[in-house]
Structure 1
Amino acid sequence: MDRAGRTDRTDDISRRSVLATAAAVTALAATAAPALAAGRAADRSGAPRADRLVDNRFWVSLKDWSTGTAEGTALVTGARPGLRIKKPVGRTDYTDPHTGRTATWEYARWTAPAHRSAVPATEVIASWNARTPPGTWLQVELCGTYADGTKSPWYVMGRWTSGDNQETDIRRTSVDDQTDGKSTVWTDTLSVDDAAAGPRVVSYQLRLTLHRKPGATATPTVWRLGAMASAVPDRFTVPASKPGPARELKVPRYSQEIHAGQYPEYDNGGEAWCSPTSSQMIIEYWGRGPTPEELAWVDPSYADPQVCHAARRTFDYQYNGCGNWPFNAAYAATYKDLQGVVTRLTSLTDLETLIAAGIPAITSQSFLKEELTGAGYGTAGHLMTVIGFTADGDVIANDPASPSDPAVRRVYRRREWENIWLRTKRYNASGKVVSGTGGVCYLYFPARPSARQRAALAAVGVR
């Protein structure tokens, strides 16, 4: 039986989209592999290649930020370009649904130009890197254009603050019940309702609204904004890949399980903290972490207080959990000169490319106990950190669902791990068809990566 305590997502379909019937899934899975193989030939007409599954577009350079429509925002120049409030263009009242408090905020806004995706997408996930001083926050919205020419509403993809001051900050939150009959937002993901027959998202715009208290001088600063659009075919299995170079990165090991029962107000405590625990491992791999002052709120008797801190700073008050993907990437990027994105990879070869360049990855997967030898558990959704590959091509993972920090390092069989991570459909313990993540991962890397790291990121579609 899947352990709900170890989830960043659940089998509950209110969280994710699924196919209309299991029969349709089976038919699509059977045809996916040959269709992909046929699509690998170059299309000289200039149309998107049939094997293109993922499209990433991020606004991160001074040139990028200059292309958008600014309403009261100003460019931040220097080594890390971005946006800030220059002169507010309006005021709005916001009633925080998690506190009931209504407050007035002034705001400025920036709207990205429309981006036409190389992939007519069934899912779009936005992510951002920013810092919000106390008394400030930001909202990210997305408007998609469908293949039939119609547009979605402006969907709220997140209301976010990097802090957690109970007096000055809003509660970090996703927004439920957003749909137009063609697509729906499930926590952090815009998903086309009928991936098989409905119109797909062919382009989108992002809108960023920066808020602060009226008359204040503090401002959010945003360094990266973008989205990953994808159309991963429905599949129960994926083709096996050939092992690449062996390498293991020295990543700190943290167990979520030693925090069981701690701070239950954050997703019932540590047993559910796979996502922030994984995030903290990678943040510290890059030499970043919270200060002693930032950890002062944690009970001094608790081991690894930085894991508790990560859980608090990634908690989504609407989702009622720490597994909001963009919130984790945004948390990582609050540390000096660190970037975070949510994307999809299409193979273990992609992961090997990143590992070879010194970039670990946080991956999301779900499986039955018998599907992953050595795990010792089954899960409806779990994050772990890939830190390397053995000479035989097996996956070396820091799995936070371990009884102690030293036990976190695991070696999982390549073929098993590859399939549970990259598939989009699976059978749960009751034989019901449920969703898989289709290669979702978080990537954290320096604001100024090395030439080799830039090349590896470019190879997987991230810049």
Structure 2
Amino acid sequence: MCLVLAVDLARVSFFRFAVPGTAEDVWTSEEREIGFPATQLVASWTARTPPGAWIEVALRARAASGARTKWYVMGRWSEHGSPRTSVPGQGDEDGDVAVDTFVARRPVVAYQVRITRHGAGALVTGLGVMASAVPQRSMAPSERVAAEPVELAVPRYSQHAHAGHHPRLDGGGANWCSPASVAMVLGYWGRGPELRELDWVGAGDPAPIVDHAAMGTYDESYQGTGNWPFNVAYAGRYGLAGFVTRLRSAAELELFVRAGIPVITSQSFKARELPGSCYSTNGHILVVAGVTAGGDVVVNDPAAPRDDEVRRVYPRAAFENVWLRSSGSGGIVYVLHPPGHPLPLCTDGNW
């Protein structure tokens, strides 16, 4: 069952939509009540798009006054990359889209999501929307879920092993924390591209799946590989279900790991704030793979210089602080799992 947690990072509402696999070009959901005044919305999806086909995902919201916003495009997606882009320049008096997140200038209480299919054969296999209102507040460390340690056998890939590779894809390995993390989780689940899909990478690459993930998540407008929903959608190409949401504590992370599901997290910090990291970052993605007997967090951190240094143990309180505190990415996770693998049970509404 879902535990009552000591840390209340945010008000979070996550909802899954069933998109019919019909031939209709445009599908629009009913209006979904959030249950509180939200300041951010993130849509995430998985879809199959044959060559020449793509989808557009859009949201519009309703304020407490009853006024509705315009439709904001949250992403144009093709697994083949034409197009695969966020849409800048949508800001108005109601809000704006910051790459993958709708940021409301006035709190919103409801929303709709719209899928537009272009070309033949596009099929949406999963769609979720996370609404949140994140306060700025200090947080106390959460308690362990259980005393027994747990660690999942997640493959280890250093993003820096790919330094200089395919620099048109966000400069090569230095900025590839997100695709490296997704590649690790794909490997854990025994999924990923076939050998023939990796021919373009080139000989001598230490982990071609990382280069492939960078290619498969690259956002042409953002010019980077860190678009959260695009990373989820990439994993969907290989049969995984997935979504972006916010978790409220390391205890919630622990619930997933104990259910056999590694979790990809987003955080920023100075080196002194996360002992053992030895680097500072304005935004970084890594994989939570376990918890020690003392409650510290076992991660696969792609910022390590080599694959054999990727496994690290970060103090629980320090990790929880740098992961949860940001109003932009605070508590953000990608959850990727086979459709038949059950999630931990929870009634709090954030997954």
What's the TM-score, normalizing by structure 1? 0.72
Query: CA offset at residue 59 of structure 1?
Result: 1.1
Change (3 A) 1:459 1:385: farther
Among 108, 113, 118, the alignment partner of 1:206 is 113
Match of 1:447 in 2: 339
Distance in 2 (CA, whole Å) between partners of 1:444 and 1:176 is 27
Query: CA offset at residue 302 of structure 1?
Result: 1.2
Match of 1:171 in 2: 83
Query: CA offset at residue 349 of structure 1?
Result: 1.0
CA contact (8 A) 1:162 1:331 kept: yes
CA contact (8 A) 2:247 2:350 kept: no
CA contact (8 A) 1:141 1:158 kept: yes
Change (3 A) 1:386 1:295: same
Match of 2:140 in 1: 239
Match of 1:423 in 2: 325
Q: Give 1:124's aligned amino acid.
A: L
Distance in 2 (CA, whole Å) between partners of 1:267 and 1:447 is 31
Query: CA offset at residue 182 of structure 1?
Result: 2.5
Among 59, 66, 70, the alignment partner of 2:17 is 59
Query: CA offset at residue 294 of structure 1?
Result: 0.7
Q: Cα RMSD over matched residues?
A: 1.8
Among 127, 133, 141, the alignment partner of 1:225 is 127
CA contact (8 A) 1:354 1:457 kept: no
Distance in 1 (CA, whole Å) between partners of 2:27 and 2:144 is 44
Among 35, 40, 56, the alignment partner of 1:139 is 56
In the TM superposition, what whole-angstrom CA distance separates every residue of 1:30-73 from its partner, at most 9, and x where no partner exists? xxxxxx98xx9xxxxxxxxx98710001114xxxx4xxxxxxxx
Task: Among all aligned residue pairs of Structure 1 and Structure 2, give the percentage whose two residues are the same amino acid.
Answer: 48
Change (3 A) 1:261 1:459: farther
Q: Secondary structure at the match of 1:130?
A: strand
Among 400, 405, 414, the alignment partner of 2:307 is 405
Query: CA offset at residue 249 of structure 1?
Result: 0.6
> Structure 2, unaligned stretches of length 5 or more?
none
Match of 2:43 in 1: 126
CA contact (8 A) 1:119 1:229 kept: no
CA contact (8 A) 1:345 1:460 kept: no
Q: Secondary structure at the match of 1:442?
A: strand
Query: CA offset at residue 244 of structure 1?
Result: 2.6
Q: Give 1:111's aligned amino acid.
A: T
Distance in 1 (CA, whole Å) between partners of 2:57 and 2:226 is 18
Match of 1:290 in 2: 193
Match of 1:27 in 2: none
Among 176, 183, 194, the alignment partner of 1:273 is 176
In the TM superposition, what whole-angstrom CA distance separates every residue of 1:203-253 from its partner, at most 9, and x where no partner exists? 0000000001xxxxx311111112000012113x31221123221111010
Q: Looking at both structures, which has the greater relative contact order when contacts are Cα pairs under 8 Å and sequence separation is at least 6?
A: 2
Match of 1:355 in 2: 257
Query: CA offset at residue 440 of structure 1?
Result: 0.4
Match of 1:300 in 2: 203
Among 247, 266, 290, the alignment partner of 1:388 is 290
When Rg is computed on C-alpha atoms for both structures, the one with the higher figure is: 1
Distance in 1 (CA, whole Å) between partners of 2:281 and 2:169 is 19
Distance in 1 (CA, whole Å) between partners of 2:163 and 2:348 is 36
What's the TM-score, normalizing by structure 2? 0.94
Q: Secondary structure at the match of 2:319?
A: helix
1:461 aligns with 2:346: no
